[in-house]
Amino acid sequence: MKVRLVLEALSLAGALLVAPAFAQVAIVLNSGDGTVSIIDKAEKKEVKRIPVGKEPHHLMATPDDQFLIVANAVSNDLVLLDPKTGEIRRRIDKISDPYQIGFSPDKKWFVSVSLRLNRTDVYDGDFKLVKRIATPKAPSHVAFTSDSKLAFITLQDSNELAAIDLATQVVKWTMPVGTMPAGVWVTPDDKYVLVGMTGADYVEVVDWRTQKTVKKIKTGKGAHNFIAMGDGRRILVSNRVANTVNIIDQQTLEVVDTIRVPGGPDCMELTADGKELWVTSRWAKKVTIVDMASKQIAKQIPVGNSPHGIYFMGHAARK
Amino acid sequence: MFNWIQELFAELHQHVFESGVLPVLYALELGGEAERAFNATELFLIGAIEITFLAIVLGTLEKWRPVEVQSHSGWKKTDALYTMLHRLGFVPLLLFFMLMPLVDTLDGALRMHDIIPPNLEDWVPWLAGAPLVSFLVYLLVLDFVAYWLHRWQHRFNWWWSLHALHHSQREMSFWSDDRNHLLDDLLIDSAHVMVALLIGVPPGQFIALVVASRMIESLSHANLRLHFGRVGERLLVSPRFHRVHHGVGVGHEGRTQGCNFAVLFPIWDVMFGTANFEPTFPATGIRDQADGREYGDTFWRQQWLGLQRLLVRQ
């Protein structure tokens, strides 16, 4: 009995020793350098920088969470990383100018937005091209309805929001929104689409069924990208010019808090326990970590040039 | 030491961008250009540091071992203006905004027909994991392209009518590298953009190497009695090698309309029979200047006369 207890204790200790090595890596895309910074999450220190391709901007996990997809806009490819270590596992070529990417919730469609070339490309779940769709001007970000029927695309230079019917791969409608729409977010109840106005200081709330703007939520200047806080109610929006992050309540559609994050805050990742917010500070070439209890900066980690996408396992739920 | 410099530069870059450039962009409703402006700010700052470095180091070297005593400070000032316009990014930015809409339209149309312009890394996949090697391969290929473009600048009379501006400096110095007609710049950049559509663009993280290659081009124009030795002369373009290219008569006449066309690596001149390793430091300029032909002393005069030569073709 004693021997068994000792063995169990040893195995538990072993598991604890091994597990953190897999769980504590943050991955940051240095879009200006073509590299990925691998950060030890516990030590809050960059441990490695791996060349990944030309202009990696955005990244996301595959639907099965087995890989992390890095979109290299200028290399015209996707690179699949091991999300536990950041090491390169596979390269998928002939993906035209992938800037922002997204999988529909039913995992049937992979959508790649080409900011430079005014295209939205729809692929199937195995990255086979289904259709290229002209979406001028400067398609920037993508979000989906929960039934996977529509993909919403922000058109940064024509100040519009477009809806693509995924089954037929045609632009179903476009509607005018504010200046320089970038980040786009669908509320969990599917009622509204929120659009970050990077050229202004608000988030536009769109009733997509009627294609009407129902509200403008005042934020800091340069409202850019969204991420969920994991409680199904609150989301974060980064304000690239004001150097702040706002917390928005999706039920009241109001800003409930403001956090100061210097250096052009862009993409974000929140720990599952909600204690730490990691933000890429684009202009500062750093990742800024915010202690969410005090809303103060806990640390800034120097990374590569123009850090953009960020990911780690153990993040808050995406809704 | 190196990290400390990098972090200091990063802070300067951020400060200048956020306090100087970004507010102007937003006032002009050009917030969508923020990322490009951020990169342009970096190039501007690096250019400013580079010019300061050139002025101190190459300026000192030119005083130490000059090829000739130079007396026309106005000529040098005009060349310095070209250097500022190029190395601080104004001319590259202007050309970028002229060419990119055309290139993006062409590139976008190709992709609608499922033609994705390749990168060198598509042909040699391991280069994707070795960006420094990839950069050096691109540098070599682009230098090869630059050699042939330079041959054609001398070969075709209409193109020479523009390129002659570059050769018309009779008191050549390290400031003379960027002394070009703007149409000549446009042609060269257009050609490079087409090459980029064929082979892609080099990895972007080696700015220090880009600056180093620009400095070699400045050094090659310096009023400096310097060569790199028997082997070195064949590896990298030296002030002596390039001065022969600018030599009156030698550099722009004869069967190949000149010699020593290489920009960085003389290997191309050796391969294509245009190398001239004579150990001389000839007087620079164009032969017809001795007959009184004017190429202009100021920026606008030089641009205007270049245009006239192109259109009137004397």
Burial group, residue B197, by CB count within 10 angstroms (0-12, 13-18, 19+): middle
* Chain B neighbors of A302, CB-CB under 8 A: 3, 7, 10
User: B15-30 pLDDT, tens per residue?
Assistant: 999 999 999 998 888 8
Same structural domain, B159 and B264: yes
Q: Are residues B160 and B223 in the same domain?
A: yes
Q: By three-state DSSP, how is residue A32 classified?
A: coil
Contact A63, A105 (CB under 8 A): no
Q: What is the pLDDT of residue B147?
A: 98
Chain A residue nearest residue B33, CA to CA:
A157
The verdict on a CB contact (< 8 Å) between B14 and A285 is yes
- Residues of chain B contacting A117 with CB distance shorter than 8 Å: 104, 107-108, 111
Residue B214 covered by a domain: yes
- Average pLDDT on B262-269 reads 97
Q: How distant is the Cα of A22 from the closest Cα of chain B, in angstroms?
A: 23
Contact between B79 and B179 (Cβ < 8 Å): yes
Domain assignment of residue B136, given as a range: 119-312
In a domain, B195, yes or no: yes
Query: For residue B41, is pLDDT > 90?
Result: yes
- Please determine, for residue B111, whether its predicted confidence score (pLDDT) is greater than 60: yes
Cβ of B112 within 8 Å of Cβ of A156? The answer is no
Residue at B47 is within a domain: yes
| Residue B110 in domain | no
- Chain A residues inside the 8 Å CB shell of B46: none
Query: Which one of B5, B17, B26 would you mutate to disrupt binding with A, by most A Cβ within 10 Å of its Cβ?
Result: B26
- B257 vs B268: which has the higher pLDDT: B268
Instruction: For residues B210 and B123, state if they share a domain.
Output: yes
Helix (H), strand (E) counts: chain A: 1, 28
B86 in a domain, yes or no? no
Q: B204: which chain A residues are within 8 Å (Cβ-Cβ)? A: 32-34, 54-55
Domain match, B156 and B268 both: yes
Nearest CB partner across the interface for A117, out of B13, B108, B204: B108
Give helix B299-312 / helix B182-199 axis angle, nearest 10°: 80
The pLDDT value recorded for residue A141 is 97
3-state SS, residue A218: strand
Best mutation target among A74, A77, A96, A99 (most B Cβ atoms within 10 Å) is A96
Tell me: pLDDT of B101 over 50: yes
Per residue in B202-236, pLDDT (tens digit) is 998 888 889 999 999 999 999 999 999 999 999 99
Q: Tokens for A276, please give them.
A: 């730490």
Report the alpha-carbon distance of residue B298 to residue B288 in Å, rounded. 19
> CA of A106, closest CA in chain B: separation in Å?
27
Residue B88 lies in a domain: no
Give residue B114's pLDDT band: very low, low, confident or very high (50, 70, 90): confident
Spell out which residues of chain A touch residue B122, defining contact as CB-CB under 8 Å: 93
> How far is Cα of residue A291 from the mean position of the Cα atoms in its chain?
20
Check: complex ipTM more than 0.90: no
Domain contains B69: no
**Model pLDDT, residue B33:** 85
Whether B178 has a pLDDT exceeding 90, the answer reads yes
Q: Which of B64, B92, B110 is the last residue of a domain?
A: B64
Does B36 lie in the same domain as B161? no
Q: What is the pLDDT of residue B283?
A: 96
In a domain, B51, yes or no: yes
pLDDT value, residue A18: 43
Are A121 and A71 a contacting pair, CB within 8 Å? no
The residue in chain B having the minimum alpha-carbon distance to the alpha carbon of residue A305 is B205
Asked if pLDDT for residue B63 goes beyond 80, the answer is: yes
Same domain? For B42 and B129 the reply is no
Chain A residues in contact with B104 by the CB 8 A cut-off are 116-118
Beta carbons of A55 and B201 less than 8 Å apart: no
Q: What distance in Å separates the CA atoms of residue A312 and residue A49, rounded to the nearest whole number?
A: 16
Which H/E stretch holds residue A45?
A: strand A45-51
CB of B231 less than 8 A from some CB of A? no
The torsion angles phi and psi of A91, rounded to 5 degrees, stand at: -125, 130
Considering only residues A204 and B104, tell me which one the structure prediction assigns the higher pLDDT.
A204
Candidate from B7, B34, B107 with C-beta closest to A117:
B107
Name every chain A residue with its beta carbon within 8 A of the beta carbon of B5: none
pLDDT tens-place values along chain A, 319 residues long = 444 544 455 444 444 444 444 458 999 999 999 999 999 999 999 999 999 999 999 999 999 999 999 999 999 999 999 999 999 999 999 999 999 999 999 999 999 999 999 999 999 999 999 999 999 999 999 999 999 999 999 999 999 999 999 999 999 999 999 999 999 999 999 999 999 999 999 999 999 999 999 999 999 999 999 999 999 999 999 999 999 999 999 999 999 999 999 999 999 999 999 999 999 999 999 999 999 999 999 999 999 999 999 999 999 999 8
User: Could you say which of B38, B64, B90 is where a domain stops?
Assistant: B64
- Inter-chain CB proximity A94 and B116 less than 8 Å: yes
Domain check: are B55 and B140 in the same one?
A: no
What's the structural domain count of chain B? Answer: 2
Beta carbons of A305 and B108 less than 8 Å apart:
no
Q: From the list B26, B29, B112, which residue is nearest A241 (CB)?
A: B26
Q: Nearest CA of chain A to the CA of B98: how many Å?
A: 15
Do the Cβ atoms of A199 and B14 come within 8 Å? no
B131 touches chain A (CB under 8 A): yes
Q: Between chains, do B38 and A157 touch, taking CB under 8 Å as contact? A: no
Domain co-membership, B36 together with B129: no
Same domain, B210 and B279: yes
Helix axes B207-220, B131-155, angle to 10 degrees: 30
Mutate to test the interface with B, among A100, A221, A281, A305 (most CBs of B within 10 A): A305
Partners of residue B13 in chain A, C-beta under 8 Å? 283, 285
A142 in Cβ contact with A150 (< 8 Å): no
Side-chain half-sphere of B301: how many Cα atoms within 13 Å?
9
Last residue of a domain, one of B42, B64, B86: B64
Residue B133: list chain A partners with CB under 8 A. none
**Chain B: closest CA distance from residue A113 (Å):** 13
Backbone angles phi, psi at A73, to 5 degrees: -60, -50
* Shortest Cα distance, chain A CAs vs residue B108, angstroms: 5
Same domain, B133 and B236: yes
Verify that B285 and B198 share a domain, yes or no: yes
Residues B47-53, mean pLDDT to the nearest whole number: 96
- For residues B179 and B284, state if they share a domain: yes
